[in-house]
Amino acid sequence: MEVLGQFGAPATVSSSGRAVERLPLLAQDAVRRGHEVSAHGWRWEGHANLDEAEERDRIARTVVAITAVTGIRPVGWHTRSPGSVNTRRLLVEEGGFLYDSDAYNDDLPYFVAVGDRRHLVLPYAFDTNDMQFFHTNRFSGAADFAAYVIEAFDWLHREGAHAPKMMSIGLHLRMIGRPGRIGALDRILGHIAGRGDAWIARRVDIANHWLARFP
């Protein structure tokens, strides 16, 4: 968070409802710093094997917990993969979500039809993501991660001269927060901020921008 703050960079903090309930000061501190606290399920669990009633209850409990602790109702959702066949419909039926990030298939937000409603999807990414330190050890250190993300940004920046582009950078405290890795985030944000024409934004801000742009 301190590195993000150094560059005036707000972030979206995907948060499990139970974790927020047990460690309220962390969620409250994130809000105080200007970050969005979005919903990441009740516990850190996939939803694929939940029946509809269980999943509806998990979603409702997550919303209640985050709202009670932060004073702000979460408007974004990201299931710890995989979601169920009902997840997106249940989010729409719940009525308070602007978007979900349960997709990995694009460099831009897009709309999907859920019943007779239009719903916004803000894709997430696994390649520009510090999870690669954990699952595959693809990145051997900070320099590898920084170089990869910066190269991805530079390519999308060039494409952005002709059409809008979005890059998602996935970060986890237990991974990027290690002393041998955190420098990567400093380099990445320094490079992006140095461009002067890129918007470092929370997902809620991107969602509101997209909804306003395509009403």
Summarize pLDDT for 148-205 with one digit per residue, the tens: 999 999 999 999 999 999 999 999 988 999 999 999 999 999 999 999 999 999 999 9
The Cα–Cα gap between 121 and 123 comes to 6
Summarize pLDDT for 5-33 with one digit per residue, the tens: 555 688 999 999 999 999 999 999 999 99
* pLDDT value for 7: 58
* pLDDT value for 131: 86
User: Considering Cα of 32, then 80, then 100, then 188, what sign does the dihedral take?
Assistant: positive
The tokens for 47 are 């939803």
The Cα–Cα gap between 61 and 41 comes to 9
Summarize pLDDT for 59-112 with one digit per residue, the tens: 999 999 999 999 999 999 999 988 999 999 999 999 999 999 999 999 999 999
CATH of the domain at 88: 3.20.20.370
The Cα–Cα gap between 179 and 103 comes to 31
What total number of domains does the chain contain?
A: 1
Range of the domain at 76: 2-213
pTM: 0.92
